[in-house]
Structure 1
Amino acid sequence: MDDEEARTRLLDAAEALFYAEGVQAVGMDRIRAESGVPLKRLYRLFPAKDALVAAYLERRDRRWIGGLREAVAAAPEPVPAVFDWLAAWFSEPDFRGCAFLNAYGELGTGPAAVLDVVRRHKAELRALLADLAPTPELAEQLLILAEGATVVAALDPGPAPALHARTAAQRLLEAAAHPRA
């Protein structure tokens, strides 16, 4: 097994375990056992657990933001597409909320590398919504709807929070298009 395969195995195991059970509940030995990567190689590739957590979140960010961008680009109405995409994600059997907020909730302002990834992810989501919204204020409102729906869905998985947020987003778009005099 070369370093690239070992890295992939470690990240696959870390993502499955950290997302399902939490960052603090899963130790490096468990990651090693699940991945089949020798402990020496694990620590050569990821000298500390913080480095593994940051790498897992970076990989998840690329996939998550990439999937959302693809859905929005393919949709005739991009803002509702954001919430339709969220509804599908919230309906996945292993959905456990936002991995970035979960990690932040567990680690707080702890490891700088992890906090940087969390902040970058949220900035990317904010930028995506800013590209779709007619005003910066509406982009911020859409961000709050998306984040709020994600938190609600983490407690009660399923599409309903995203669909409610979609309705609210459409009302905000309509109000922005037809302001009262």
Structure 2
Amino acid sequence: MRTLLIALALLAAACSPPAQNADSTTATNAEEAAQAPQNPYVAALAGEVQTGAWISRTDEGVTSACFGAPQSECVITVVCEMPSGKISLSVEHELAPDQATTIRLFTATQTFDLPAQSFNEGLPNVTATVADNAPEKTPLIGMLGTPTERFGAEIAGARTVYPWDASVAAVLTACR
């Protein structure tokens, strides 16, 4: 009986795969990570974040969240016009002359382009307007409505990073 148990133990050992070296597993994982495409915006998100605070407001069917330094103008604003379901995103940026452009939004895992228009009269800004039935609406709500530490906007190659806030999600979901 004892001989049978020893034979079974030896057979089981012979059939088991060899133990992997932890260093080789780590090296393999590092090689796979190096080969995986990296989001080019991750480095931008690790950089300087705009300072200020988010302020939200709801008034007569319009909900908005705006971010800026205390006692100054907003540098980014997200607005939901609830009766129409229209969402507007406005970023302080001068792009002259007034022209069609793109606001590229980015997080650590996603990028998303919104068609926009620059306006240089008064406070220069670039604004994207998303109609209720526009194909961009659901992805926009999904991207900025999901909690994240920060997100950014790129306009004509200039990138700005903002802290994310629950008020952004509240505005976007009000127009869902």
TM-score (norm 2): 0.22
Relative CO higher for 1 or 2, CA cutoff 8 Å, sep ≥ 6?
Answer: 1
TM-score (norm 1): 0.22
Greater C-alpha radius of gyration = 2
